[in-house]
Structures are given as C-alpha cells and as structure tokens.
Amino acid sequence: MIEFLIFSYTMKGRKEMNIMNSLCIKKVMLAFMLGFPVLYSQAEEPAVMPVLPDTIAAPHTVKSEGTVQVAFSPRGGGQDIINNALHEADRSIMVQAYLFSNKSIAAQLEAASQRGVSVQVILDSSQEKKTNHLVEKLISEGIQVRVDHDFHVAHNKIMIVDRKTVVTGSFNYTYASENRNAENVLVIRGNQKLANLYVDNWEWCWNHSQRWNPQ
C-alpha cells in the first residue's frame, strides 16, 4: 500500500495537500539515475542472463600499485581527469557507458580516433530508444559502437586506455554528471593486474553486445 501526496496550487498561490489512500501497486520498481526516475518492468528482463567468464566470476584481491587520481562532482575536475586520460591514449580506448551525452568527452574520443587510436564503445540498450546525435557523430568518425541488450541494465561507467589505465566511478559521461550531480571518478594508472580484470570484463561484454541500431 503506497500513499501518494499530491500537491495542488490554488489561484491565490496557496498549497493544498490532498491524500489519496488505498492505492495498491503490485509492482513498481523505481531507480534514480542523474535525478531522473526510470521505471522497469518484468517484461524487460533478458530471457537468458549471460554467465561471467572464469577470469572474473569471483572476487579478486589486487595488490595496490601505481597511482590513483580522484575527483568529485559537481565541477570538481572529473571531466578534466577523464579527458586527460583519453588524451594519453596511443593504441586503444575501451568504453562502457550507461549514459553518454558529454560533448567534451565525445570530442576527446573523436580526436583519439583521428590520430589512429582504436576506440570502441559499449552502451546500455536504453540509449537506442532516443535520438543521440553525439553517438551518431562518433560512428561517423569511425568509432565502433555496440549496445548491450543482455542485462536488465548495463550500468558500467568504465574506460580503459591502452589496456593499462582504468577510468571508473559513478560518473556517467554526461553534462549533468560534471555540473549538477554528486559523482566521483577514479583514474588508476600503473596497476596492470587490475587493468587486466577490467579488460576481461569489457571484452566479455563487447563480444555479446550488438551493433548500434537506434529505434
């Protein structure tokens, strides 16, 4: 039983609170990403859930090595440290993103592709359901984009640069994550064992993902 409080406003600007009782909801699953509610239904569940490969099917403890750069949002430098990591790329950039609409980060991916870096992007299936000119532009620049349909939500926010530098955290690759939300981002350099685990996970997701096909 869920009671909804509905606020209405009179002509005089006064607030009146009406309570609707006895409203039964059998199935409501409410998730908040970037402050926007997303409703999920059982019909969206994948028919067959992929099974993790043996290399990442159990927790790993990795020795602390290298450096960790950290930034927070809003406007605490998260976008900058991501862009700096992308600028360092010589060979490859692997991306997993739940949301992707940050023009500055997209520009860095395009610049990397133009200088010969292999750039590959995996997106959540929700991104196909709306027009995303930024993704279309990435594709026009020769960047490979796939969509992961095999999970309820493909929620990773990961970049792997040259198979050795890992970018991760809560930070979605959006304008809101940099300027409006409370987020965090880590750039981990010099820890190859950790990077290898992220590469294994990324390659597994890439192999079962499908070509970008906006609806």
Nearest-angstrom CA–CA distance, 152 and 98? 12
Residue 112: Cβ within 10 Å count = 23
Beta strands in the chain (DSSP E): 4-9, 15-20, 30-33, 36-39, 67-72, 92-97, 118-124, 144-148, 158-161, 165-169, 184-189, 210-211
> Structure tokens of 198?
């992220």
Positive/negative CA dihedral, 127, 27, 3, 23: positive
> Structure tokens of 27?
């199935």
Query: Which residues are 121's β-sheet partners?
Result: 95, 145
Q: Write out the catalytic residue numbers.
A: 155, 157, 162
